[in-house]
């Protein structure tokens, strides 16, 4: 139900390609790639065993995916605030969409926002990936710095950027004044507001695109580049004729993902501009939210969501069992970045890189590139730095309108004030409970369902898996309103379980688990069965120990997604003490309890970011390798 994390939607298959799972040996009759072998894959088990493993996921899918889709269809033909209480109006809601000027404005804004964010973030991500794939000093640190913006929640990004681009006291305008330039209406003029939003969203996505492109670049065999170099090809010619053709599958999937992310954009826009000034930054997702939960036109909002679905591209084609076959002793993996062997995707098996010569190490161009990347990395992490600084800055200095980079008298007063006046510990507890319990349950459900779909052949398996995959292609706009009605009908509104239950069914997690478990050799499982082990012992004693990398990725991505989630908790949580940290943070800038709100707001933003930032900095290598093939080396 929550917006799918950009990391969660992309991760995964690349971790599978480079993980330490057992290699399928060439010539294994169970994995020889023939049609007969493919039919033998998956053990047909009588009774209820496979249904026990896949049952929890199927029940959640029915309650929180299939039922909301059906409700959305019914609602779109009603004029109602709640299901069953309205009047059947046929296609009137769809006719109203055609004549709705605000809908056309939201649609146009969404188009402008998408065209502004998608090509820019992809182009800059590719440029950074190419630059950081060269031998330059400190490239591991630079890669980590460029990826830091991806760690922050969208609402944290929105709050911090609202403070940076504040018209009266923001550091951006203070810097312009310091340089003798005119102050800019970053968020108060229509054209400026949309441009500022595009700039902020590009800032958050550059690292994401960079890491994916890095993984693809490092999967290109060095022999191809060296052969072109021996033929006298320049660096640009080698990129154009060798690297770029091999990057096209990666570019295609990044294009689709970035378009989906832009179509579903909500939290940054909601926090920074609220759709204003006027309706100049109102996008489709925000207009659906406004129609359903502010104007109480849920039937019309459901129709808007249905219209949004027709413009959303599919994320990928459904993968078949033949996507993981053995060809000549090498495991073949079909991922979102095309079909490649495990040997090709794993940087451990790439050809050894020629050490840099003394001339290359002292090349002026190399050091100029290092200087330029360092300056850009400083700009990338500056908003995070400014968040920490503002949390330690006294209110008088923060609202003085003068330019500064370090507080004159650092103080913890902002933390003291916000903890004294707001239930911050309750917010943290709510977020921790939702993220912890939700992640644990979701990972267990994904693992068991993935195991059933990968290793058993049972009646209805193909249909069930196809239905699961279809939900990936259904944007949140379609199910937002009906899912809220489902939760309201069972009395869970304003409860942590209203956030947890609809998110337990994770299609991407199930897909990842299934693809990984297809590579676990059946011979190990058969040996355990011959020793008298039950199917549950096989799962817990044989399969799960081979899935360490898979479990790590699912836990890290699931926890981060739930900790940062904003839209769904905003819809279902109401009481102040029941809010999660991101939702509570979005309300603090207008809280009358603070005479100078930005210091306390930055203090809460810092508290929100620190847990994920620490996890990222400690596990950055494993974390980024879970997104692309060895993005940080």
pLDDT at 394 over 80: yes
Helical H segments across 133-243, by residue range: 139-147, 154-164, 171-178, 190-218, 222-230, 235-238
- pLDDT value of residue 355: 46
pLDDT, greater one: 217 or 322? 217
Confidence at residue 328, expressed as pLDDT on a 0 to 100 scale: 33
pLDDT of residue 280: 94
Question: pLDDT at position 373, please?
Answer: 92
| Among 59-73, 106-120, 277-291, 337-351, the least confident range | 337-351
Q: Is the dihedral of CA 227, 232, 233, 235 positive or negative?
A: positive
Whether 342 shows a pLDDT value over 80: the answer reads no
Report pLDDT for 242.
Answer: 87
Judged by average pLDDT, the poorest of 40-54, 336-350, 542-556 is 336-350
Higher pLDDT, 512 or 128: 128
pLDDT at position 51, please? 93
Range scoring the smallest mean pLDDT among 286-300, 356-370, 484-498, 608-622: 356-370
- 44, pLDDT greater than 70: no
pLDDT given at position 228: 81
> What is the reported pLDDT for 553?
77
pLDDT the model gives residue 31: 44
Residue 378 CA to residue 292 CA, distance in Å, equals: 41
Residue 501 carries which DSSP code? G
Confidence (pLDDT) at 24: 41
Q: What order do you get walking across the sheet with 330-335 strand by strand?
A: 326-327, 330-335, 338-341
Q: What band does 619 get if pLDDT is binned at 50, 70 and 90?
A: low
- Mean pLDDT in residue range 130-134: 89
| 228-250 per-position pLDDT tens digit | 888 888 888 888 888 899 999 88
Q: Out of 40-49, 302-311, 313-322, 399-408, pick the least confident.
A: 313-322
The C-alpha R_g of the chain, in whole angstroms, comes to: 26
Would you place residue 3 in the very low, low, confident or very high pLDDT band (cuts 50, 70, 90)? very low
pLDDT-based confidence at 81, cuts 50/70/90? low
Structure-token pair, residue 77: 């033909």
> Are the beta carbons of 519 and 16 closer than 8 angstroms?
yes
**Is residue 321 within 8 Å of 450, Cβ to Cβ?**
no
For all residues of the chain together, what is the average pLDDT?
79
Q: Quick check: 501 and 440 in contact, CB under 8 A?
A: no
* Exposed e or buried b per residue across 411-435, where buried means at least 16 C-beta atoms within 10 angstroms of its C-beta: eebbbebbeeebbbebbbebbbebb
Rounded CA separation 520/21 (Å): 7
Q: Is the pLDDT of residue 118 over 60?
A: yes
Reported confidence tier of residue 332, pLDDT bands at 50, 70, 90: very low
CB 217 within 8 A of CB 245: no
Q: What is the pTM of this model?
A: 0.77
User: For the packed helices 598-618 and 413-421, what is the interaxial angle rounded to 10 degrees?
Assistant: 100
SS3 (DSSP) at 519: coil
Asked if the bond preceding 518 is cis, omega within 30° of 0, the reply is no
Looking at residue 164, what is its pLDDT?
A: 94
By CB neighbour count within 10 A (0-12 exposed, 13-18 middle, 19+ buried), where does 259 fall?
Answer: middle
pLDDT tens string 513-524: 898 888 888 888
| Residue 135: its H or E element | none
**532 in helix, strand or coil?**
coil
**Cβ partners under 8 Å of residue 573, min gap 6:** 494, 498, 499, 579, 580, 583
Which whole-number Å values give the CA distances from 100 to 96, 107, 284, 288, 309, in the listed order?
6, 11, 13, 13, 18
pLDDT by residue (tens digit) across 139-163? 888 888 888 888 888 899 999 999 9
pLDDT in the model for residue 86:
67
Question: Measured between alpha carbons, how far is 198 from 114 in angstroms, rounded to an integer?
Answer: 9
Q: With contact defined as beta carbons under 8 Å apart, do 520 and 21 qualify?
A: yes
**Residue range 315-328: average pLDDT?**
39
Instruction: Examine the pLDDT at 113 and tell me if it is beyond 70.
Output: yes
* Dist. CA 310–CA 392, nearest whole Å: 47
Q: Which of 84-98, 338-352, 508-522 has the highest mean pLDDT?
A: 508-522
What is the pLDDT, as a whole number, of residue 148?
85
Do 454 and 42 meet the contact criterion of CB atoms below 8 Å apart? yes
Cβ atoms within 10 Å of 22's Cβ, excluding its own: 12
Q: Please state, in angstroms and rounded to a whole number, the distance separating the CA atoms of residues 572 and 488.
A: 8
- Give the tens place of pLDDT for each residue, 429-470: 999 999 999 999 999 999 999 999 999 988 899 999 999 988
The better pLDDT of the pair 298, 244 is held by 244
* The pair of three-digit structure tokens given for residue 128, joined into one six-digit string: 């950074």
480 — pLDDT class (breaks 50, 70, 90)? confident
**β partners of residue 339:** 334
pLDDT at 380 exceeding the cut of 70: yes
Please report the pLDDT score of residue 454 as a whole number. Answer: 92
DSSP per residue, 280-336: TT--HHHHHHHHHHTS--HHHHHHHHHHHHTTPPPS-PPPPGGGS-EETTEEEEEET
Least confident segment among 83-97, 272-286, 436-450, 482-496: 83-97
Q: Indicate whether 557 pLDDT > 90.
A: no
Q: Give the model's pLDDT for residue 566.
A: 92
Whether the per-residue pLDDT at 341 is higher than 90: the answer is: no
Residues 6+ apart with CB under 8 A from 479: 1, 65, 68, 69, 72, 305
The residue-averaged pLDDT of 70-99 equals 77
* Pairwise CA distance, residues 612 & 39, whole Å: 44
Nearest Cα residue to 291 out of 313, 268, 307, 310: 307
Confidence band, pLDDT 50/70/90 cuts, at residue 344: very low
Q: What are phi and psi of 411, to 5 degrees?
A: -145, 150
For range 296-321, the mean pLDDT: 59
> Which range (36-45, 57-66, 231-240) has the least confidence?
36-45
- Range of lowest pLDDT (222-231, 329-338, 459-468, 507-516): 329-338
- Segment among 27-41, 162-176, 360-374, 441-455 with least mean pLDDT: 27-41
Mean pLDDT of the region 214-223: 83
Pair 523, 531: CB distance under 8 Å: no
Q: Where is pLDDT greater, at 135 or 334?
A: 135
């Amino acid at each position: 139900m929550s917006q799918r994390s950009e990391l969660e939607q992309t991760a995964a298959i690349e971790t599978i390609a480079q993980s330490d799972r057992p290699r399928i040996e060439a010539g294994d009759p169970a994995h020889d790639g023939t049609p007969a072998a493919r039919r033998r894959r998956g053990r047909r088990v009588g009774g209820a065993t496979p249904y026990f493993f896949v049952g929890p996921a199927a029940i959640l899918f029915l309650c929180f995916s299939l039922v909301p889709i059906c409700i959305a269809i019914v609602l779109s033909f009603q004029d109602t605030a709640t299901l069953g209480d309205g009047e059947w109006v046929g296609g009137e809601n769809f006719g109203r969409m055609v004549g709705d000027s605000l809908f056309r404005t939201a649609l146009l804004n969404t188009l402008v926002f998408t065209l502004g964010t998608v090509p820019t973030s992809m182009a800059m991500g590719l440029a950074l990936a190419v630059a950081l794939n060269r031998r330059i000093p400190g490239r591991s640190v630079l890669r980590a710095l460029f990826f830091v913006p991806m760690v922050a929640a969208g609402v944290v990004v929105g709050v911090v950027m609202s403070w940076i681009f504040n018209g009266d006291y923001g550091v951006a305008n203070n810097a312009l004044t310091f340089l003798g330039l005119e102050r800019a209406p970053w968020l108060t003029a229509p054209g400026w507001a949309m441009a500022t939003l595009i700039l902020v969203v590009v800032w958050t996505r550059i690292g994401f695109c960079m890491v994916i492109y890095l993984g693809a670049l490092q999967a290109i065999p060095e022999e191809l580049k060296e052969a072109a170099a021996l033929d006298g090809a320049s660096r640009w010619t080698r990129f154009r004729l060798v690297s770029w053709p091999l990057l096209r599958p990666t570019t295609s999937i990044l294009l689709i993902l970035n378009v989906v992310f832009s179509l579903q954009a909500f939290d940054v826009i909601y926090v920074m501009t609220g759709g204003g000034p006027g309706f100049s930054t109102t996008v489709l997702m925000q207009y659906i939210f406004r129609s359903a939960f502010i104007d109480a036109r849920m039937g019309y909002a459901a129709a808007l969501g249905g219209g949004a679905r027709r413009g959303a591209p599919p994320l990928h084609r459904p993968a078949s069992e033949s996507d993981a076959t053995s060809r000549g002793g090498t495991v073949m993996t079909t991922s979102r970045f095309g079909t490649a062997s495990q040997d090709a995707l794993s940087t451990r098996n790439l050809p050894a890189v020629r050490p840099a010569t003394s001339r290359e190490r002292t090349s002026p161009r190399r050091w100029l590139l290092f200087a330029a990347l360092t300056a850009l990395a400083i700009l990338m992490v500056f908003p995070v730095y400014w968040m920490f600084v503002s949390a330690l800055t006294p209110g008088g200095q923060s609202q003085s309108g003068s330019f500064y980079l370090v507080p004159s008298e650092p103080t913890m007063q902002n933390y003291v004030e916000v903890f004294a006046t707001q239930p911050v510990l309750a917010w943290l507890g709510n977020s921790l409970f939702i993220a912890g319990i939700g992640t644990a349950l979701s990972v267990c459900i994904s693992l068991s369902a993935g195991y059933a779909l990968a290793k058993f052949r049972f009646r209805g398996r193909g249909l069930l898996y196809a239905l699961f995959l279809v939900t990936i292609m259904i944007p949140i706009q379609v199910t937002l309103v009906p899912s809220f009605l489902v939760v309201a009908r069972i009395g869970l509104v304003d409860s942590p379980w209203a956030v947890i239950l609809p998110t337990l069914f994770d299609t991407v997690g199930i897909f990842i688990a299934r693809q990984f478990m297809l590579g676990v050799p059946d011979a190990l499982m058969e040996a355990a069965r011959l020793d008298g082990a039950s199917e549950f012992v096989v799962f817990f004693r044989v399969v799960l120990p081979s899935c360490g990398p898979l479990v790590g990725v699912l836990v890290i991505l699931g926890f981060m997604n739930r900790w940062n989630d904003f839209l769904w908790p905003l819809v279902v949580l109401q009481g102040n003490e029941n809010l999660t940290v991101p939702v509570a943070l979005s309300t603090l800038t207008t809280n009358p309890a603070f005479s100078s709100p930005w210091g306390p707001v930055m203090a809460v933003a810092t508290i929100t970011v620190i847990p994920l930032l620490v996890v990222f900095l400690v596990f950055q290598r494993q974390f980024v390798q879970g997104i692309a093939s060895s993005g940080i080396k």
